[in-house]
Structure 1
Amino acid sequence: MDSYYDSGYLAVVFGIVIFSVIIGLAGYVLGSLFLMKIFDKAGVEGKWRAWVPVYNAMIFFKLGDLSPWLVLYGIAGAALLSWIGIGYAFSLALGVFSAIAAWRIGLKLQKDAVWVVLYVFLSIVWLGINAFDKSRWNPNIQPASWASNGFLGDRTVWNGVPVQPAAAAPQPGYGAPQGYAPPAQPGYAPPAQPGYAPPAGP
């Protein structure tokens, strides 16, 4: 009688494992297909990049103005420190960075910042919408404040992956109160900006 229950239990466990593998493979294929379309919109060369595990997440981070190496740091930290019980902190950090990358990618695909909520709760739906809607990639979105320096900034250059614009250095007078205009001085003309040519007079 015990062997009957043991075999039934094993059959249920085996069924759950097979079902989980099928769902995992379907999610991987669907996610890679959606990433392939998003990468295509962003100008990434080579459709194969979306199908390579971990590397596709690194490109996703790069397009989202984050260092792609954060993916490896997060995975390594979660794996190496899980035995002392703090690996979950790296997994959580990786999830937060992924949401930040999705927010930046969403901005470049003409989505409002609130769309990142959909990514947090149903990332596959967010990927599908951005992959197949009519939005176009806009690389001229104001760069993130961390994009040019610091631990989060992306300074990696890969062939076939467009370089995202870095944050510009602050210009003189940045942060001046709104509506402030310096007092006019007779005979004073502001210095010409590099690359700017004033229109020709009549």
Structure 2
Amino acid sequence: MSSYDSQGLAILGAVYLVGFLVAVAIYVIGSIFMMKIFEKAGVQGKWRAWIPVYNSMVFLKLGDLSPWLFLYAIGATIVLGWIPVIGQVLGLASFALMTLAAYRIGLKLGKTPAWVVLYALGIITAGITSLIWLGINAFDKSRWNPQIPASPWVGNAFFADRTAWDGIPVQPSAQVAPGAAPGYGAAPQGYAPPQGYGPPQGYQQPAPGYQQPAAPGYQPPAAPGYQPPAGPATPPAGPVTPPAAPSTPPAAPATPPAAPTTPPATPPAPPAAPPAPPTQPPA
């Protein structure tokens, strides 16, 4: 073997080594970003973000898609990937599923639908922009909100998530509301107002035990099956006959004696003058 061949093999080996190290670095960084997003979603166990293939299945599940779709795509790629056109189509289908999941996850993290474009550009940037999308959603101040309108495929038996795994919370927006027709995007159970909604300024939460006063004349509806207690069958009978009134009122007192009509005619005469004392004593 000539020296030129040896140098060519060395350069090729170095290229493969650098490519391998870059792939490992991208995988490690992406797993860290997924782990943070999984924590926001309430997924138990950080190890789920580090297992290849399985972390993508959990990602699809959080995006209201069946996690088995990713396995179907891998299986079809293994079987039919040797056909050039079909292999490329299957690869695009797998990326499209991940993009749909990213769209739903972005909505639950308070992002507008336009943010999914950053993830979708990863198809032409070798996944660099998709990694940036993961990093933004992993470390920003957004909070997970599963109470968003249901996905358009919520009633589809093939695409919608129907899988229950321990440690991964059930997403209400991925469930079909009772009585909803299959294939229609029914409102999720326990729907809550979107992020940013809140009470008006100055509003104070009422104290515990507070009861709102009822409107005048309002009577609360009775509980189902409630019957008011029965009153007495017959009211008590009153007195048969009222007491008889006195037949004759008591007689008035007799006429008082008449006062004297005239005073006495002449007042009595005063007494006579006393006798005069003697002038000389007796002899």
User: What band does the TM-score fall into relative to the shorter chain?
Assistant: 0.7 to 0.9
Aligned to 2:94: 94
Alignment pair present for 1:76 and 2:75: yes
Query: Any gaps of 5 or more consecutive residues in structure 1?
Result: 175-198
Higher relative contact order at CA 8 Å, sep ≥6: structure 1 or structure 2?
1
Question: Residues of 2 paired with 1:127 and 1:135: CA distance?
Answer: 13
Q: Deviations over 1:100-132 (max 9, x none)?
A: 000000000000000001111211000000000
CA–CA separation in structure 2 for the residues paired with 1:149 and 1:201: 46
CA contact (8 A) 1:148 1:154 kept: no
> Residue 56 of structure 1: SS of its match in structure 2?
helix
Contact 1:147 1:153 in 2 (8 A): yes
Q: How does 1:108-147 map to 2 (within 5 A)?
A: 108-121=108-121, 122-147=129-154
CA distance in 2, matches of 1:96, 1:129: 20
User: Residues 146 and 167 of structure 1 are in contact (CA less than 8 Å); yes or no, is this contact kept in structure 2?
Assistant: no
TM-score (ref. length: structure 2): 0.59
Q: How many corresponding residue pairs? A: 175
Deviation of 1:87 after TM superposition, in Å, equals 2.1
TM-score, normalising length: structure 1:
0.82
The farther-off stretch of 162-171 and 150-159 is 162-171
Q: How big is the shift at 1:147?
A: 2.2
Q: Residues 107 and 113 of structure 1 are in contact (CA less than 8 Å); yes or no, is this contact kept in structure 2?
A: yes
* Residue identity matched to 2:135: G
Report percent identity of matched pairs.
54
Mapped partners of 1:60, 1:37: distance in 2: 12
Change (3 A) 1:200 1:70: farther
Shift of 1:94: 0.7
Q: Is the radius of gyration larger for structure 1 or structure 2?
A: 2
**Any unmatched runs of 5+ in structure 2?**
122-128, 185-211, 216-283
> Is the deviation greater in 140-149 or in 61-70?
140-149
1-side partners of 2:153 and 2:176: how far apart?
7
CA pair 62-200 structure 1, distance change in 2 beyond 3 A: farther
**Runs of 4+ displaced beyond 3 Å:** none
CA-based RMSD of the aligned residues comes to: 1.8
